[in-house]
Amino acid sequence: MGTTRFVFAGAAVIGMLATSAFADDMTGMITRIDRLNNTISIQQTQKGTVGGSAGGAGALQQYKAKDAAMLDAVHAGDRVTYSATDDTNGSGTLTKLQKQ
């Protein structure tokens, strides 16, 4: 009975770690919005203090909005948190967008 509890506890921990790895939101600044094509360009900001550099910028990425209404509340220059999926053609689909 003790072994069974240990196995179930281990499986629960692994499940929680896997879910949190996929649910990590990114942060960035909007550089361009094309409302006609439902696309947005976001300059991703680096997290943490890797290398001790102060506030460097990450890669510029263009995303297609899952829903056009997502782009209504934001403008170029806004800092946002977002989630996106990667598509095979090099762009991504924006699944969540929230102004900071």
How high is the pLDDT of residue 10? 60
* % helix, strand, coil for the chain, step of 5: 30, 40, 30
pLDDT confidence of residue 51: 57
Report the distance separating Cα 62 and Cα 32, nearest Å: 9
Q: What does the pLDDT profile of the chain (100 residues) look like in tens digits? A: 567 665 556 655 555 544 434 447 899 999 999 999 999 999 998 766 655 554 556 788 999 999 999 999 999 999 999 999 887 666 789 999 999 9
Query: Among 90, 29, 32, 94, which residue's Cα sits nearest to residue 67?
Result: 94
pLDDT of residue 22: 47
The pLDDT score that the predictor gives to residue 39 is: 94
Q: Which amino acid type is present at position 76?
A: A
Task: Specify whether the CB–CB gap between 32 and 40 falls below 8 A.
Answer: yes
State if pTM tops 0.75. no
Q: How far apart (Å, rounded) are the C-alpha atoms in residues 42 and 88?
A: 19
pLDDT at 60 (0 to 100) = 87
The pLDDT value given to residue 81: 95
The full set of domains in the chain, from first to last, is 25-99 (2.40.50)
